[in-house]
């Protein structure tokens, strides 16, 4: 049963995920909280290594153990905490209530099975239907993603990259999941095919009324697909809000240069503006703000405090000491209106 439109369909509360290695503990996801409404699209944005894919694997309870371990938190889907489910219960949930599209369609398909068999296998696994009924549904799914049903008996190597990704989408949506997780679903495709695949995903999302968690570093994809955006940095959510809030009212000092690093066809520039410095080592994170070493707006107090996310208006959350509300609080307690910048 689908949730109603106003319910919080997915709630991630204070999630912490670590990888325990011989070289120390890698703090991949650090106390993040997120909410999604039924039928909406939330994008997780950030650099490679920010913790986006680990968050997705945590939702599916697929963190490789060892070395990975969910230390704390709750992942509540439709009122049920997935972290309290048994292995058998999660196997039933994956594919039926939650599906995932991985970033490389070349490695997501079994090379020795036909594409139709791979779709019908998922249908038979989660539904009590005959083989012939499963084949009929698989043919219908192929048609829905723009592939003729006659290609049911073709093997993956007979398809182009874009067509393979369409097959992966068909497999993911075959059982009408309530949540679709997309991990860089168009990163292996050229720009023209990207647009076609994204359009297909939007149409099917609307048809099946599926909630979508989009993991990407491509802000163009975010602009085309998202209702809400969460910006991740060093395993934390540093800014969260609606698409308009994050794109038009950017508040965090990491989000601003993230947008500035993109090419702008309206500006005549010879070089892009990259973010200077490197992401902190997740096995040795600073006790202060994780973006401190790269921040061009940092001030003295930023080296002393790890800020907490706070609402700057209408649900727009920012994890920065210098955003409006915390700056005013700092000024009241310190008596200083203009702390000196760190050079």
Q: Could you read off the pLDDT of 97-135 as tens digits, one per residue?
A: 999 988 777 788 999 999 999 999 999 989 889 999 999
Alpha helices in 146-190 (DSSP H): 161-173
Asked if 198 contacts 186 with a C-beta cutoff of 8 angstroms, the reply is yes
Query: Which segments in the chain show pLDDT lower than 70?
Result: 1-7, 264-265, 324-343
pLDDT of residue 7: 56
**Beta carbons of 164 and 106 less than 8 angstroms apart:** yes
Residues 45, 259: contact at Cβ < 8 Å? Answer: no
Residue pair 98/177 in contact (Cβ under 8 Å)? The answer is yes
The predicted pLDDT at position 329 comes to 53
Q: What pLDDT, on a 0 to 100 scale, did the predictor assign at position 107?
A: 81
Structure tokens at 74: 């709750």
Residue 191's pLDDT is what?
80
Bond preceding residue 66 cis, omega within 30 of 0: yes
CA distances to 118, 139, 154, 161 from 158, in Å: 15, 17, 6, 10
27 closest CA partner among 18, 16, 37: 18
Bond preceding residue 67 cis, omega within 30 of 0: yes
């Amino acid at each position: 049963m689908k949730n109603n439109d106003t319910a919080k369909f997915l709630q991630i509360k204070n999630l912490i995920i670590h990888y325990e290695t011989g070289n120390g503990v890698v703090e991949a996801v650090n106390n993040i909280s997120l909410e999604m409404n039924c039928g909406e699209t939330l994008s997780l944005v950030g650099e490679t290594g920010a913790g986006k894919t680990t968050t997705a694997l945590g939702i599916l309870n697929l963190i490789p153990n060892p070395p990975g371990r969910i230390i704390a938190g709750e992942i509540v889907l439709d009122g049920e905490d997935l972290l309290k489910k048994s292995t058998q219960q999660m196997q039933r949930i994956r594919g039926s209530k939650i599906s995932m599209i991985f970033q490389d369609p070349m490695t997501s398909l079994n090379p020795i099975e036909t594409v139709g068999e791979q779709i019908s296998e998922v249908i038979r696994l989660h539904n009590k239907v005959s083989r012939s009924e499963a084949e009929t549904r698989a043919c219908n799914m192929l048609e829905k993603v723009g592939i003729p049903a006659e290609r049911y008996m073709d093997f993956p190597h007979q398809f182009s990259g874009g067509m393979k990704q369409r097959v992966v989408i068909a497999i993911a949506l075959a059982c009408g999941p309530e949540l679709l997780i997309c991990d860089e679903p168009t990163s292996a495709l050229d720009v023209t095919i990207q647009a076609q695949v994204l359009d297909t995903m939007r149409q099917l999302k609307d048809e099946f009324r599926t909630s979508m968690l989009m993991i990407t570093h491509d802000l163009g994809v975010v602009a085309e697909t998202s209702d809400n955006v969460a910006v991740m940095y060093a395993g934390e959510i540093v800014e969260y809000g609606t698409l308009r809030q994050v794109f038009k009212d950017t508040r965090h000092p990491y989000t601003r240069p993230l947008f500035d690093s993109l090419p702008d066809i309206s500006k005549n520039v010879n070089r892009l503006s990259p973010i200077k410095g490197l992401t902190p080592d997740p096995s040795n994170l600073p006790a202060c703000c994780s973006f401190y070493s790269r921040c061009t707006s940092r001030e003295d107090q930023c080296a002393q405090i790890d800020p907490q996310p706070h609402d700057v208006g209408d649900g727009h959350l920012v994890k920065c000491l210098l955003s409006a509300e915390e700056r005013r609080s700092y000024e009241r307690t310190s008596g200083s209106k203009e702390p000196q910048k760190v050079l």
